[in-house]
Amino acid sequence: MIRTALPADLDSIAALHTRARATYYRGRIPEEEYGGPAELARTREGWARAVARSAADGGVLCAERDGELTGVAAYRTADGETTLTQLHVEPAHWRRGTGAALHAACLDAWRRSGVSRVRLEVYEHNLRAQAFYARQGWLPGPVPTASGSHLVLWLAVAAPPGA
């Protein structure tokens, strides 16, 4: 089930985010930059801001299975540009359709809002995520760009059939 995130979800979202990030940052950056109490608190604060945004400014969606949070996605629209800021799946739930379901729910929300193009940044060493985004139709821009250690990808959001 995909649903809108609630403030009561923040601890679970932050913990899931931390576990997912550890799978691609471990051994590449210092652990205190993706784990530990201070980073967990910072992560929770960021998610709290995202959950509190108005619908016009973005959204946070949760995936649940049997009452357990299995994935989370967040997007934000600012200055006329929509960005998929986060999409994380609990590692124990990889390859079960959770990420695709979250992505599809984001697409539905973007179509309803009239968004035609979305941006994201993906960690350059996270090849699993890059493959996932490629399967969903994300592409590098006409001039491939990077933002620090992240690649920038774009998705053209097609209008719904019959629109």
> 94 — phi, psi (to 5°)?
-60, 150
Rounded CA separation 100/27 (Å): 27
Tens digit of each residue's pLDDT (9 = 90 or more) over 47-91 = 999 999 999 999 999 999 999 999 999 999 999 999 999 999 999
Letter for the amino acid at 37?
P
Q: How confident is the model at residue 24 (pLDDT cuts 50, 70, 90)?
A: confident
DSSP string, 68-117: EEEEEEEEEEETTEEEEEEEEE-GGGTTTTHHHHHHHHHHHHHHHTT--E
Helices and strands: H and E segment counts in the chain = 4, 8
Answer for the pair 15, 76: CB distance below 8 angstroms, yes or no. Answer: no
Tens digit of each residue's pLDDT (9 = 90 or more) over 110-135 = 999 999 999 999 988 888 999 999 99
Residue range 36-50: mean pLDDT, rounded? 88
**Range 2-156: architecture per CATH:** 3-Layer(aba) Sandwich (3.40)
The pTM is what? 0.88
User: What's the confidence (pLDDT) of residue 139?
Assistant: 93
Domains in the chain: boundaries: 2-156
The CB density around residue 133, as the number of other CB atoms within 10 Å, is: 20
Structure tokens that stand for 85 in this block: 């800021």
Rounded CA separation 151/115 (Å): 21
